[in-house]
Amino acid sequence: MQIEETTDQMISIVGSGRVGSTLAMILVQRNIDDITLVDVIPKLPEGEALDLSHMAAELGVDVKIKGSNDYSDIRGSDIVVVTAGLARKPDMTRMDLLTKNTGIAKAVSNEVAKYAPDSKLLWVANPLDVLVYVALKTTGFKKGKVFGMGGMLDVSRFKEFLADYLQISRSSISALVIGEHGESMTPVPSYTSVYGIPIKNFLTEQQLDEAVDKTRKVAAEVIAKKGATFYAPANGIARMVEAIHYDKKALLPLCTYLEGEYGVSGLCIGVPAVLGKDGVERIVELKLSEKERQSFDKGVANVKEAISSIQI
C-alpha cells in the first residue's frame, strides 16, 4: 500500500544545536518535507540551512530548508519540534535543568502558540515530562497536540543492551520503555520480545535486571564521554515526525497528558500511544508487573513533585 503525504506544510525545528541539526539532516535525507530551523544564536540557523541545502542538492532532494532567528518564520508549520534548552552536563540529572529550562519552555511555547497555533508540538528538551506539561498549559493546545520524545530514545538503549546479551540482530527485538524520561524510567520486560517470543524465554531475571539498570544509567555515560547525546535522540524524533506526517497510526512510546489512564491524572509521562496526523490519537493501557508498576509510580511521583515546584 502506498503511503500518501497528508500535508504540504513545513516542519519547524526550534533549536539548531546538535540534536536539532542532526534531526534536520535525517529529515532531509528522508525527503519528508520543507524545514525551517529557528535559533536565538545569530546566523547559526542560516548557516545550518545552507550546509543542509548543499547536501540536499547532491542527494537530489528538493525540500526547501530555511534558517531564521525570527519565530514568525514558523508560521504555517504542521509540526514544530523543540530541541532548544540548556544541555545536561556530566554531573547533572535531567531534573537539575528544571528551573532554567522551564523559563525557556514557556517563552518558546508562547511563540509557537502565536505563530503556529494549528501545529503539533513535539518536545525534546529536559526534564522532558515536566516541560511537555509546561508547553501544554502554556500553549492551551488540545492535549493530543503536545507530546514528548523520551520513550523512543530510551527504547533504543534498552534494545542495544538486550542485543548484546542475546547476540541476535537488533531488528528481531521489540522492546518498550515507559514512565518518566529520567533515572526512574520503566523498561518493560513483560512486553518485550524477540520476534514475538517473550524475552523471558531467552534471558534470566538477573540479566533483565542488569539490562534495565544499564538503560537507566547509560545517558550519563554518553554525556560524560562526548558531552551530549544527539544521534539516537534525533533518530527517535524523526520516527515520530514520520508517523505524524504520513499519518502512520504508529504505536510508539511517548510522553503525553494522562486523564485517568494508568490511574494517573493531571500530568505528562511516557506511555504507549498511537501517533498520527492529528498527534496523539489514543493511549494504550497495559497491565504491568508489580516491579514495573512500582517503577512507573516512582516516576509519576517524581514528575508530580517537579510540577509542584514550578510556576506556570
Whose cell is 525570527? That residue is: 70
Q: Is 43 left (phi over 0), alpha (psi -120 to 50) or beta?
A: left
Q: Is 67 left (phi over 0), alpha (psi -120 to 50) or beta?
A: beta
Query: Annotated catalytic, 181?
Result: yes
Of residues 145, 181, 214, 239, which has the active-site annotation? Answer: 181
% helix / strand / coil in the chain, to the nearest 5? Answer: 50, 20, 30
Q: Which of 184, 181, 295 is nearest to 236 (CA)?
A: 181
Whose cell is 494504550? That residue is: 284
Q: Which amino acid, residue 124? A: V
**N-term to C-term CA, the chain:** 45
Contact assessment for residue 310 and residue 99, using Cβ atoms and an 8 Å cutoff: yes
Which residues face 290 on adjacent strands?
Answer: none
Helix H, strand E, coil C: the string for 194-252 is ECCEEHHHCCCHHHHHHHHHHHHHHHHHHHHHHCCCCHHHHHHHHHHHHHHHCCCCEEE
Q: Which amino acid, residue 7? A: T
* Residues with Cβ within 8 Å of residue 228, at least 6 apart in sequence: 18, 19, 87, 88, 222
Indicate which residues carry an active-site annotation.
Answer: 181
